[in-house]
Amino acid sequence: MTEPVTPRQFDEADGVDDWRVVEGASAYFRTDSLAIGSRLVAAIGGLDGLDDHQICIDLRPRGVHVRLFTYAPAPDGLSTRDIELARRISALARDLGVAADPTAVQNLVVSIDAMVIADVLPFWHAVLGYEPRPDTPDEELNDPRQRLPVFFFNQMGHPRPQRNRVHIDVWVPPDQAESRVGAALAAGGTLVTDEHAPGWWVLADAEGNEACVSTWRGAD
């Protein structure tokens, strides 16, 4: 029987060391060639039970990215079925001699602050060619081909003059977050606030443009 699981339950499950929760459960398997990656994709495609389960596979010359989710492509959309499928896919990769690289897993979200979301969301819907996310149609737009970043609309309580209203959320595994923050600071960034860490850190570049480094621990 399929049961929902939290990001923490997935993260602490046995046999999922290759996987990280960012948008669903994701793994990146590094390959030496497109041919090896193609063999891994073919092996995954041969697994039983994929026809009625959400799985996204991106094949590139040097690697294969796999994303799993049951209910929605978000940290809270996972189930026991995703745990079992993750284990089976990792076993296929091991059989092919393909190793996972958890440091390559991340997800990008473009966040737009708005005073009246209903006034701005239709514009972005039209200009991007995106579709509203079914369970949160009033606050998120998704690429229907599931390739490009999510656009999330953040409700503002009051105007913020002289501060950017569009920023990037970089979702990374919790075990990668502090090193990513450190790298950004070493590259000339500044820490705006860490009051919400380890859920997210707000950073800014040399001219004040903001980005958040985020993890599932903010939604746990």
Inter-residue contact 211 to 167 (CB < 8 Å): yes
Q: Which SS3 state, helix, strand or coil, does residue 217 take? A: helix
Inter-residue contact 61 to 34 (CB < 8 Å): yes
Residue 50 banded pLDDT, cuts 50, 70, 90: confident
Which string of DSSP letters, residue by residue, matches 35-55?
Answer: HHHHHHHHHHHTSTT-TTSEE
Average pLDDT score, the chain: 92
Residue 219 banded pLDDT, cuts 50, 70, 90: low
Question: Residues of CATH 3.10.180.10 domain(s) within the chain?
Answer: 107-218
pLDDT digits (tens, 9 = 90+) for 85-125: 999 999 999 999 999 999 999 999 999 989 899 999 999 99
The pLDDT score that the predictor gives to residue 160 is: 75
The pLDDT score that the predictor gives to residue 206 is: 84
* Res 79 pLDDT > 90: yes
The pLDDT score that the predictor gives to residue 105 is: 95
Q: Which phi and psi angles does 73 have, rounded to 5°?
A: -80, 60
Name which of 2-11, 18-27, 90-99, 160-169 the model is least confident about.
160-169
Q: Which SS3 state, helix, strand or coil, does residue 123 take? A: helix
The pLDDT score that the predictor gives to residue 158 is: 86
The pLDDT score that the predictor gives to residue 197 is: 96
Q: Which tokens in the block code for residue 118?
A: 């209903």
- Mean pLDDT of all residues in 30-40: 96
User: Which has more pLDDT, 75 or 187?
Assistant: 187
* Res 134 pLDDT > 90: no
CATH number for the region 107-218 comes to 3.10.180.10
Residue 72 banded pLDDT, cuts 50, 70, 90: confident
The pLDDT score that the predictor gives to residue 220 is: 61
Q: Is the pTM above the cut of 0.75?
A: yes
Per-residue burial over 88-123, b if 16 or more Cβ lie within 10 Å, else e, is ebbebbeeeebebebebbbbebbbbbbeebeeebee
- Mean pLDDT of all residues in 34-56: 93
Q: How far apart are CA 112 and CA 155, in angstroms?
A: 9
Residue 209 banded pLDDT, cuts 50, 70, 90: confident
| Backbone torsion region of residue 195, taken as left when φ is above 0, otherwise alpha when ψ lies between -120 and 50, otherwise beta | alpha
CATH number for the region 4-104 comes to 3.30.1360.20
* Res 77 pLDDT > 70: yes
In the block, which residue shows the tokens 């010359």?
61
- Mean pLDDT of all residues in 144-157: 91
Question: Residues of CATH 3.30.1360.20 domain(s) within the chain?
Answer: 4-104
